[in-house]
Each structure stands twice: as structure tokens, then as C-alpha cells.
Structure 1
Amino acid sequence: MKTVAMVLFPEFLLLDMAGPMEVFSIANRYLALEKHYQISTVGTQHGVIQASNGVRVMADAHLEQVAGSHDLLLVPGGPGAYDNKHQPLVDWLLSAREQAGCIGSICTGAFILGEAGLLDDHRVTTHWHYTERLIKRFPKAIVETDQIYINDRNLLTSGGVTAGIDLALAIVAQDHGKKVAQDVAKVLLVLMKRQGGQAQFSPLMAAVAPNETAVTRVQNYVLEHLDESFSVERMASMANMSARHFARLFSREVQMTPMEFLQNARIDRARSLLEISDLPLKTVAYRSGFGSVRHMRFLFGEKLGLTPSQYREQFS
């Protein structure tokens, strides 16, 4: 019997807890009694703990009452994970990791693992909206931005919210085989393995900075005329600069090259058109500046792991 414990703290995200716990609970329906997952919750405070959506949960035990080891310790995300300090929990995790088989996080629960130093020198991920913050706060972590979940030397991390279900399904498949995990996925009406990574949910390009500079003027013009042809030389001439100086300045201000900006802007424009319209792919490609459906399809596959048609089917 494998023991799984979920740590709860004020302002945790309820779905981060409920999703993985349901996976393990449903898996028990298909397993012999001696192979069941023994599921429990551990609270950072006594009594009721309120989730970020207002739902109140009573943990099975307080940190101080938990004795012995767990095969798997999971930390959910939520506003309480990245906005608050959790020194008692951090201290407990540092002690528990010596006995736990695996320690993992769902979504922004990675920030709590980071506070405990558990992310250092490990490949990790979190919700796409918080990857930059995770990189800045924990520079020793090797943060990957497009993974749904990662298992690096028994440290488990997952992307945002429902990615905790993907992570739990992967654990069930590893423990009891793919067939059991597939049966659980069918009950939950989710895919055993979803297509693409987190990039399909996140914009590839950040908003243009509000202050007006030569670079932002070029950015705004490009965004308004994506169906036109652009090169670094053309963009540089619009800014009255040499191509070399413009490219260097652009990369410093925008954190990507001019052509990367152009490519990402075109993909984001195409994604928007695929989501809100029934326009033919040829028209979407033209209005986004790709020139051809073939080129658009290639870049979608490279950046998002989906074809434009698959993207439209999943997100429109």
C-alpha cells in the first residue's frame, strides 16, 4: 500500500488538491486492496483550512502530529503558496524529505518547494504564468516553461491546476501500468496524455511596454501590419538605426530578437483568429502574415506541438 499525503495551507487552490486525490482514489477501484493508495491530508494549522475559493477543509492531521514516512508528499499551489511565507511547512518538508519516497508540487506549490531549497539543481516547472517569477526567485532551479509535468530524481513538479491530474495519472501508470491509468482517465473524461505542452495555453509574446521608445514604436507598427513583409533591416530603418544596433537594442529591451518577436506575434494573431472565427486556414495564414498554411502549420508544430486545425478544435 502506497501512502500519499497532500499538504494544506490557507489559500491553497482546491482543484490542485482534489484533482490528484481523485485520480488516486479512482485508481483504488481497479487495484487489489493491498495495492491501494492510502490518501491523507496534512494541515499547517489546526482546525479548518480555507481554500482560495472559500471552501473550508479539515485536514486529517497537523504537521506536528504526523509521524513516519510517506511514499509521496504533494504540495498544492494557490495564492497562499507564492504570496505567503511558510517557515513551519518548509522546516517540516526539509525533515520529511529524508524519509519520503518522492516529494512533488502542483502548479505554484513549486514556490514552497523552492523556499525549502528542494528545487536547486533540478529540472522543474510550474504554471506558465508564474515561470518567470519562479526563475527569478530560485535561480538555482532549472525551470522548463513548456512541460506539463516533470519527474527529476524523485522531485515531481507540474504545470498549472489540471496538470496535477496529468502528474497523478503518470504516477499511477508508473506504479500499476498504463491500463489502470487509462481506466482512471476514462472515468475522469480526460486525456491520458494531452497533445502539446503549456505553450498552447500561454501567449508567446508579452505586452508591448507602455513607454514610447524607438523599439516600442516599431513593435506597435508591426503588430498593426502583420500581413506585411518584415526584415530586421526594414524594422531598423523604421527606427532610423543600423540593423546591428537595432537588433542589439531590441533584444535588450524585449528579451527576444526582432524576428522572434515577429514570429511569436504572428502565431499569437493566428491563435486568436482560430479561437474567435471560422475563417479558412488560408485566410488565417494570410492575415497573420505567414504567407502559406504550410508555413503556419510548421511553426505551430514547432512552437505549440499542435497543428492549426488541432488548436482550433481544442480551443475554439
Structure 2
Amino acid sequence: MKTVAMVLFPDFLLLDMAGPMEVFSVANRYLKPECHYQLTTLGTERGALRASNGVMVHTDRHIEDASAAYDLLLVPGGPGAYNEKHPPLLAWLKGAVKRAERYGSICTGAFVLGHAGLLDGYRVTTHWNYTERLTKAFPNAKVATDQIYVEDRNLITSGGVTAGIDMALAVVAGDHGKKLAQDVAKVLLVVMKRQGGQAQFSPLMAAVAPHETPITRVQNHVLEHLDEAFSVERMAGLANMSARHFARMFTREVNMTPMDFLQSARIDCARNLLETSDLPLKTVAYKSGFGSVRHMRILFGEKLGLTPAQYREQFS
């Protein structure tokens, strides 16, 4: 019997807790009693804790009364994970993970682990909208920006919200085989392995800065004329700079090269057209500046792990 503990704190995300726990609960239907997952919830406060959606949850026990060790110790995300530090929880976690066989986080729960000093030297992930913030907060962690979940030694972390279900299915597959995990996935009406990573849900290009500079003027011009051909030299000419100086200034200001910006802008434009219109793929490719469906398909595969047709089917 394996023990799984979920540590809860005020303002946690309910689905981060419920999704993975439901995976283990459904797995128990297929397992012999002696092989069941023993599920427990631990709270940073005695009594009920309020989740970020307002639901009150009564935990099984306070962290001070927790058992000596767990096979898997998990931390959910939510506003309480990335906006608060919970000093008593951080102090408890530092000792608890040493006694756990494995530990991990769902979504932004990675921030709790990070504040406890438990991400340093590990490859980790979190919700796509928070990967940059996680990288800046914990520079000694190796943050993967596209993975649904990441396993590194005894640490397992997942992307946003429902990615905790993917992570739990992976744990079940590792413990009891792929067939059982597939059976659980079918009961929950989810796929065993998603196509693509988190990038398919997030914009590849950040919004153009509101203040006007030679670089932002070029960015806005490119966005308004994506169906035209652009080179670094042409963009540099729009900024009245040499190509070399422009490329250096652009990269410093935008945190990506001019051509990476152009490519990301075209992919995001195509994604929007695929989501909101029934335009043929050839027209989408032309309006986005790819020139051909083949070129668009190649870049979608490289960046999103999906073809344009698969993206449309999934998101439109």
C-alpha cells in the first residue's frame, strides 16, 4: 500500500487537489486492497481551509500531526501558493520531503517548494503563465516551459491545473503499469498522453510594450503586415539602424531575436485564425505570412507539437 499526502493551505486551487486524488482513488477500484493508494490531506491550519473558489475543505490532520513518512507528498497551487510563503509549512516541508519517497507539486505549487529550497538543481515546471516568474524567483532551478509534467529523480512537478491529472496517471503507470493507467484515464474521460505540451495553450509572443521606442514601432509594424516578407535587414531599416545594432537592441528589449519574434507572431496569428474562423489552411498560412501550408505545419510541429489541423480540432 502506497501513501499519498496532499498538503493544503489557505487559498489553494481545489482542482489541483481533486484531480490527482481522483486518479489515485479510481486506480484503487482496480487494485487489490493491499495495493491500494492510501490518500490523506494535511492542513496548515486546524479545522476547515477555504480553497480559492470559496469551497471549505476539512483536512484529515494538521501537518504537526502528520505521519513520519509518505510515499508521495504533493503540494497544490493557487493564489495561496504564489502570493504567500506560509513559513510554518516551508519549515515542515524541508523535513518532510527527506522522509518521503517522492515529492512534487501541481501547477503553481512549485512556488511553495521553491520557497522551501526544494527546487534547486532540479528540472521542474509549472503553469505556462508562471514559468518566467518561477525562473526569476528560483534561478537555481531548471524550469521547463513546455512540458505537461516533469520527473527529475525523486521530484515530480506538473504544469497548470488539469496537468496534475496527467502527472498522477504517470505515477500510476510507473507503480502498476500502463494498462491500469489507461483504464483510469478512460473512466475519467481523459487521454493517457496529450498531444503537444503547454505551449499549445500559451501565446508564444508577449504583448508589445506600451511605451514607444524604435523597437516597439518595428514590432507593431510587423504585426500589422505579417503577410509580407521580413528579414532582419528590412526590420533594421524601419528602425533606421544597422542590422547588427538593431538585432542586439531588439534581443535586449524583447528577450528574443527579431526572427524568433516574427515566427512567434505568425504562429499566434495562425492560431487565432484557426480558433475563430473556418478559413482553409492555405488562407490561414497566407494571412499569417507562412507562404505555404507545409511551412506552417513544420513550425507548428516544432513549437506546439501539433499540426494546424490538430490545433483547430482541439481548440476551435
1:79 aligns with 79
In 2, Cα distance between equivalents of 1:230 and 1:85: 46
SS in 1 for 2:99: coil
Aligned sequence identity (%):
77
Kindly indicate whether residue 215 of structure 2 is the aligned counterpart of residue 215 of structure 1: yes
Equivalent position SS for 2:98: coil
**Residue by residue, what CA displacement relative to the aligned partner does 1:12-47 show, whole Å, maximum 9, x if unpaired?**
000000000000000000000000000000000000
**Aligned equivalent of 1:32:** 32
**Residue deviations 1:135-165, cap 9 Å, x none?**
0000000001001001101101000000000
Residue 304 (structure 1) aligns with: 304
- Offset at 1:202? 0.4
Between the aligned partners of 1:67 and 1:219, the Cα distance in structure 2 is 56
Q: Any stretches of 5+ residues in structure 1 without a counterpart?
A: none
* TM-score, normalised relative to structure 1: 1.00
User: What one-letter code is carried by the residue in structure 1 that aligns with 2:17?
Assistant: M
Q: Any idea what the Cα deviations from partners look like across 1:256-304, whole Å, max 9, x if unmatched? A: 1110000000000000000000100000000000000000000000000
1:10 aligns to what?
10
CA distances 1:174-193 after superposition (whole Å, capped 9, x unpaired): 00000100000000000000
| Alpha-carbon separation, structure 1, partners of 2:49 and 2:77 | 14
Aligned-pair distance for 1:97?
1.4
CA distance in 1, matches of 2:98, 2:131: 27
Structure 1 CA distance for aligned equivalents of residues 62 and 286 of structure 2: 59
In 1, distance between residues paired with 2:68 and 2:7? 15
User: In the TM superposition, what are the counterparts of 1:138-287 in structure 2 within 5 Å?
Assistant: 138-287=138-287
Aligned length: 316
Letter in 2 for 1:271: R
Q: Secondary structure at the match of 1:98?
A: helix
Matches within 5 A, 1:86-97: 86-97=86-97
Residue of structure 2 equivalent to 1:47: 47
Counterpart residue identity of residue 122, structure 1: Y
Q: Give me the whole-angstrom Cα distance separating, in 2, the residues matched to 1:90 and 1:32.
A: 35
Aligned partners of 1:133 and 1:238: how far apart in 2? 32
Partner Cα separation in structure 2 for residue 167 and residue 297 of structure 1 = 28
Alignment of 1:68 onto 2:68: yes
TM-score (norm: length of structure 2): 1.00
Q: CA deviation at 1:85?
A: 1.5
Q: Distance in 1 between matches of 2:98 and 2:235?
A: 56
Give the drift of 1:67.
2.4
The Cα shift of 1:86 comes to 1.2
Q: Which residue is equivalent to 2:121?
A: 121
User: Which runs of 5 or more residues in structure 2 are unaligned?
Assistant: none
CA distance in 2, matches of 1:42, 1:203: 36
SS of aligned partner of 2:186:
helix
Whole-angstrom CA distance in 2 between matches of 1:148 and 1:118: 20
Cα distance between partner residues in 1 of 2:238 and 2:6 = 55
SS in 2 for 1:157: strand
